[in-house]
Structure 1
């Protein structure tokens, strides 16, 4: 039998293995590089039409990202403008120059973004397929501008409409929105940008419950749900893991994220803490049917009866031993109080910014009639000091505070 050259035989195999391993590593690195993360000193901009401008009222999108990176100094600027398109045509003023498009470019530059969420297409879709070439051109130029600033772009699809009108009109409008969503997705793919489809999730949820105001714009519950959709698509972990405590005849065992501080098995009293990596989102006031499950606390082995849970001495909920064994969802307490105050600060900061970059009497302060009231421009700049202070408070209060829970039998 003719002897084979072992080295010669192994060489091609090693090459194939090496190539396969390299491919796996490359894929792994690619997946790692797509994980969304905010770092200290990042500057996030929301750029688009009414989808973002109306968020000024609720603050859910900024709040969701703020709480995911507690303690980080991240700046958010909302440049949403109702009726706007990729050419900035809604941003016109009586002073020209700057032109509306120059105005848009100046606003993006001044914001100094590192991350830009881009939401256009809702207005342009009214032009139908005939308007696609101009839309694509404008969106490409917009991405060029963002790239030139060294910022990352994340593109969002438009959302559907469900207003009371002839069914044919709504169907045609949504068909055009789908076409534009596809165009955005295609351009994002060509340019290596992240694309998030919010059309389908909003469409499905709007069939189940009211998340649209006047059938066109999201309401408070809609923005709560949109924040959840963005979190999921950005690869962020779901809401807190369940807390589980098992009570036996002689012992108490805490698993998952709980840590026991004290226990009186005989009298059914438990004192513990629970790890909370980030604050929960405050619930919308008028719609609880879309709520994500919050922190679940599950306690098994309790004697028959009712038990009250307190958090930092605040009564949270009372339930039977059977319900505690099934798991109780926590929907109020210190964490919700903390995040509600955090949200108020975000809304206040955004209000200050809105009137700084869009003053009602812009023509008289910054425009061609600034010779009359231009002295007030200094006042607009001074608002930056207030925003800076509020941003410091937001970063300071975004970290969850330790909470001591106590479960006691009702006597």
Structure 2
């Protein structure tokens, strides 16, 4: 029997190793680019004004609903954004300390049990150089200190927020996505040019990249994708915001595309011009309106707090939003199915 030569054996070993290396790389690529969403996922958006205002035009949620594909059926989203919020959840407090805001967020997360959570924080630090950006008594003074000290406070608060989310969501929570805020725009005098703010935002981004890796979270760099690293302070010719900070509806449409692209979804063929897509977006906006009144009723002082002795009997009506929201979500799912059926035919 003829024995294989040394070089023949070496060739076999080399090919085997090459195949193994390719297989490992392919598997890693598949995992990194695999769909973030799974059938029936509950998804929560948590952050400040950028997130809260997204519910009003629906572009972000509609885009994610569409790019999730036909296999991502039954997705349900909850916008838990709160304008002015920080990683210590200051803005969510009604009359008390930030702990009250953390408790509020903890309750809704424990109730909703999301599978995927998008987190968007960091602008509070970049916009507040030398000023306290949280009322959390233990760290308020440090938040107004030198940059390194303020960032330390921010990252410590962010870590506590992530830990609390995981605790309250329990085993349901599968994915956390850390989303870097987009760059601010210069719209000319009398508004600030935001050059120094964007430099600080870039530093926040760099810190969040390591933070996301540490927490085994996905990372979406809206700052880089939307031109933050190239910002030189020039006046923006085609603004996406009303004032350099707050996005217009068309601005949100573009932001949503960058958001989805950052998650690895293709957005080249994404359009909102047809009637089905428009009806889907309108239905999502209506669902968001209903849910907003469910979890943030305008008269909660009378319903749940220190004046509940006057109208607290009406608190029983708040859970009655739930079946209405479920009905609206059925409409959304039907429109979504029609949309993908139409694409499959075409």
Band of TM-score, shorter chain:
0.7 to 0.9
Q: 2:136 matched to which residue of 1?
A: none
Q: Distance in 1 between matches of 2:8 and 2:161?
A: 52
Q: 1:160 matched to which residue of 2?
A: 183
5 Å-filtered alignment, 1:307-326, equals none
Task: Measure how far apart 1:402 and its partner are.
Answer: 4.3
Task: Measure how far apart 1:115 and its partner are.
Answer: 0.9
5 Å-filtered alignment, 1:4-23, equals 18-23=16-21
**Of Structure 1 and Structure 2, which has the larger fraction of its residues in strand?**
1
Q: 2:307 matched to which residue of 1?
A: 369
Larger Rg: 1
Q: Distance in 2 between matches of 1:165 and 1:28?
A: 51
5 Å-filtered alignment, 1:37-56, equals 37-56=36-55
Task: Measure how far apart 1:144 and its partner are.
Answer: 2.4
| 2:176 alignment partner, SS class | strand
Q: Distance in 2 between matches of 1:239 and 1:201?
A: 15
Q: Distance in 1 between matches of 2:18 and 2:114?
A: 38
- TM-score under structure 2 length normalisation: 0.79
| 2:86 alignment partner, SS class | coil
**RMSD across aligned positions (CA):** 2.9
Q: 2:163 matched to which residue of 1?
A: 144
5 Å-filtered alignment, 1:280-319, equals 280-282=270-272
- The 1:59–1:123 alpha-carbon spacing in structure 2 relative to 1, beyond 3 Å, is same
Q: 1:228 matched to which residue of 2?
A: 257
Q: 1:63 matched to which residue of 2?
A: 62
5 Å-filtered alignment, 1:171-182, equals 171-182=195-206
Residues 94, 367 of structure 1: 8 Å contact kept: no
- Count of matched residue pairs: 309
Q: 2:76 matched to which residue of 1?
A: 75
Task: Measure how far apart 1:368 and its partner are.
Answer: 3.2
| 1:52 alignment partner, SS class | helix
Residues 222, 262 of structure 2: 8 Å contact kept: no
Q: Distance in 2 between matches of 1:224 and 1:230?
A: 10
Q: Bigger shift: 129-138 or 91-100?
A: 91-100
Residues 157, 184 of structure 1: 8 Å contact kept: yes
Task: Measure how far apart 1:27 and its partner are.
Answer: 2.1
- The 1:73–1:86 alpha-carbon spacing in structure 2 relative to 1, beyond 3 Å, is same
Residues 116, 152 of structure 1: 8 Å contact kept: yes
Cα deviation, 1:297-353, whole Å, max 9, x if unaligned, reads: xxxxxxxxxxxxxxxxxxxxxxxxxxxxxxxxxx5xxxx112222211111110011
- TM-score under structure 1 length normalisation: 0.68
Q: 1:200 matched to which residue of 2?
A: 224
2:242 pairs with 213, 218, 241, which one?
213
Query: 5+ residue gaps in structure 2?
Result: 130-146
Q: Distance in 1 between matches of 2:21 and 2:37?
A: 28
Cα deviation, 1:136-184, whole Å, max 9, x if unaligned, reads: 1122222223444323011111122224458986222111111111111
Q: 2:25 matched to which residue of 1?
A: 27
Cα deviation, 1:360-379, whole Å, max 9, x if unaligned, reads: 11122122332332222221
Residues 185, 236 of structure 2: 8 Å contact kept: no
| 1:180 alignment partner, SS class | helix
| 1:213 alignment partner, SS class | coil
Q: 1:188 matched to which residue of 2?
A: 212
**Of Structure 1 and Structure 2, which has the larger fraction of its residues in helix?**
2
Q: 2:141 matched to which residue of 1?
A: none
Q: 1:99 matched to which residue of 2?
A: 100
| 2:226 alignment partner, SS class | helix
5 Å-filtered alignment, 1:244-259, equals none
- The 1:135–1:17 alpha-carbon spacing in structure 2 relative to 1, beyond 3 Å, is farther
